Amino acid sequence: MKLTLEIWRQEDAASKGAMQTYEIDEVSEDMSFLEMLDVLNEQLNSQGDEPIAFDSDCREGICGMCGLMINGEAHGPEVTTTCQLHMRSFKDGDTITIEPWRASAFPVMKDLCVDRGSLDRMIQQGGYISVNTGSAPEAHSVPVPRDHAVRAFTAAACISCGACVAACPNGSAQLFVGAKITHLGELPQGQPERDQRVVDMVAQHDHEGFGGCTNIGQCTAACPKEIPLDVISQLNKDLRTALRHGL
């Protein structure tokens, strides 16, 4: 199939970018979206043009490295990551708009690559549990009720791709923070640091310049791992509990 691509080009973090139009022919519907971009880059290379910079790593939908705003939807029209989106989701003759995640906390480094270090800095503020290193503890020594395990695992499926922030009209990362709060808060190992975790992570969230949540729900619709909105409610509940405990 033949496609028209409107792609954000930006030299580096300091320069001003703009949308540019490209034509691409003979795209197979079996190609992944990133393979289609690879083909376009080969085309650009052979013409002596600068290829388009975009992030990717595993291309299996599990690492969270890739992420593009495709036709106004984070990761495009399917509920999956950009790398697992295939060209069969588009039609011959389509015009596809491709933009980087837009958030002041995700500065554009080049073309479609953004710096998502703000997510890592939030993790550093509490998205972990403190345990002594050494031999692995006996798994059965700490029982976890099944409901808790399932909910923790649902939240733990987050791959930190940043689609929630990209899709949010407020540029908020509450789905991401809520996923960590719920994931660790549902498990016995997460309890000692539970209050401190939510207070510190929310403080870092606001410090990074993410917006506030107004429960619109576009984050959960964009999430390739289908993290439900109730993690944000859990985040609010934990924050209230922590504040009541005097933190």
Binding site for other proteins (CB under 8 A): 6, 8, 19, 69, 71-73, 97, 99, 102-105, 167, 169-172, 209-222, 228-230, 232-240
User: Least distance (Å) from other proteins to the CB of residue 28?
Assistant: 25
Closer CB to other proteins, residue 97 or residue 196?
97
Closer CB to other proteins, residue 6 or residue 193?
6
User: Least distance (Å) from other proteins to the CB of residue 130?
Assistant: 25
Closer CB to other proteins, residue 86 or residue 205?
205
Closer CB to other proteins, residue 65 or residue 232?
232
Which residue type occupies 198?
A: V
User: Least distance (Å) from other proteins to the CB of residue 173?
Assistant: 9
Count of C-beta atoms within a 10 Å radius of residue 224: 25
User: Least distance (Å) from other proteins to the CB of residue 144?
Assistant: 18
User: Least distance (Å) from other proteins to the CB of residue 25?
Assistant: 23
Closer CB to other proteins, residue 169 or residue 188?
169
